[in-house]
Amino acid sequence: MSSTKNIAKDEGHLDQTLRPSAWADYIGQENIKTNLKILLTAAEERSHPAEHILFYGPPGLGKTTLAHLIAHETGRQIKITSGPAIEKVGDLASILTNLAPGDIVFIDEIHRLNKMVEEVLYPAMESGVLDIIIGKGPSARTIQLELPAFTLIAATTRIALLSAPLPSRFSGGTFRLEFYTHDEIKKILARSAVILGVELTDEALDEIAKRARFTPRTANYFLKRCRDYAQVHKMPLSKDAVKKALALLEIDELGLSASDRRIMEIIISKFDGGPVGLKTIAAATSEEEATIEEVIEPYLIQLGLLDRTTRGRTVTKKGYEHLGYEDTRN
Catalytic residues: 63-64, 108, 157, 217
End-to-end CA distance of the chain, in Å?
Answer: 37
Contact between 91 and 117 (Cβ < 8 Å): yes
Q: Return the closest-CA partner of residue 325 out of 310, 311, 315.
A: 315
What's the one-letter identity of residue 256? L
Q: Return the closest-CA partner of residue 111 out of 58, 56, 65.
A: 56
Helix ranges, 236-316 (H): 239-248, 258-271, 278-285, 289-291, 297-302
What's the one-letter identity of residue 7? I
Give the span between the Cα atoms of 37 and 30, in whole angstroms.
Answer: 11
- Describe the crossing of helices 216-232 and 239-248 by its angle, rounded to 10 degrees: 100
What separation in angstroms does the CA of 314 have from each of 19, 280, 297, 301?
37, 13, 11, 10
Are β-strands 141-146 and 78-82 bridged in parallel, bridged antiparallel, or unpaired? unpaired
- Describe the crossing of helices 216-232 and 182-196 by its angle, rounded to 10 degrees: 50
Strand partners, 106: 80, 153
Give the span between the Cα atoms of 100 and 148, in whole angstroms.
Answer: 6
What's the one-letter identity of residue 233? H
- Describe the crossing of helices 30-45 and 63-74 by its angle, rounded to 10 degrees: 30
The residues, any chain, with a CB within 8 Å of residue 64's CB and separated by 6 or more, are: 106, 108, 155
